[in-house]
Amino acid sequence: MSSGTDTRLDFASLVRRLPSAQKSAKGAPAYSRFVNRRLGGYLAVIAYRLGMTPNQVTIISGLCTGLGIALIALLPPSVGEGVGICLALVVGYALDAADGQLARLRGGGSVAGEWLDHVIDSAKIATLHLAVLIAGYRYFHLPVGWLLVPLGYSAVATVLFFAMTLNDQLRRNNGLPATTTQTANRPSTLRSLLVIPTDYGLFCLVFLLWGVREVYAVVYGLLFIANAVFLALALRKWFGDMRALEDR
């Protein structure tokens, strides 16, 4: 346990410290901003009180998410399985928000911790839609062309994650905050609602439809289209942002 961790602090005192341990909410979609961050904060406080390290929380997050992905690929879709998948992914996502908040409650993170967090996120992005592809092939009995949807979704999610990570790194290399969210501007609730189709938290909740395969397939397809459109628009903006770095 780090010498900077004082487990004698009570739960309420730690909760009051959470705002200073959270990143700006600007640009975050609605579930991630209003639900997941709060859940992650409470889990961070519990982990702090238990004397856990951020890396331990990151690993547990990866195990929960891995369980959800395994359930997607290995078991026939059902209502009960959909609830189990949703729960595993939601808890994994909340813990993913908790590890950074825990690190800041303890006085700061580490390079190794950031590396571990990004590697586990990469594994999630690389396998989640492939698990849906496997389930679609084995159990959905839809036209074979539908299998192109999870393939496309996997490509979109991978490029989006890589581009966002690269944006942060290039901004750091140029002496700027990792993201443009580090501003004093009040986060826009309207924007958070408009970009909710790109919210990983919403994607997790959609597995509650997993037992109704045709409905899930349609909703999943609509989310793919929304994410593909968002990526196309975002890449154009981000390229402009990177060009602007050259002119500084």
- Distance, in Å, from the CA atom of 206 to the CA atom of 44, rounded to the nearest integer, reads 25
For 107, what's the count of Cα atoms within 13 Å in the CB-facing half-sphere? 6
Say if residues 29 and 192 touch (Cβ distance below 8 Å): yes
Domain ranges of the chain: 11-246
For 46, what's the count of Cα atoms within 13 Å in the CB-facing half-sphere? 11
Q: How confident is the model at residue 2 (pLDDT cuts 50, 70, 90)?
A: very low
- Distance, in Å, from the CA atom of 235 to the CA atom of 228, rounded to the nearest integer, reads 11
Structure confidence by residue, pLDDT tens digits, 163-205: 999 998 898 888 777 654 444 456 688 888 889 999 999 999 9
Structure confidence by residue, pLDDT tens digits, 128-163: 999 999 999 999 999 999 999 999 999 999 999 999
Say if residues 29 and 196 touch (Cβ distance below 8 Å): yes
In the prediction, which pLDDT does 13 show? 67
The pTM score is: 0.88
What Rg value do the Cα atoms of the chain yield, rounded? 19
3 state SS of 185? coil
In this structure, which amino acid lies at residue 215?
V
Residue whose tokens read 């924007």: 191
Number of residues that this document lists for the chain: 248
pLDDT above 60 (res 47): yes
Structure confidence by residue, pLDDT tens digits, 83-115: 999 999 999 999 999 999 899 888 877 899 999
- Distance, in Å, from the CA atom of 66 to the CA atom of 73, rounded to the nearest integer, reads 11
Chain centroid to Cα 105, Å, comes to: 20
Does the domain formed by 11-246 have CATH 1.20.120.1760?
yes
Question: 77: exposed, middle or buried (C-beta count within 10 Å: 0-12, 13-18, 19+)?
Answer: buried
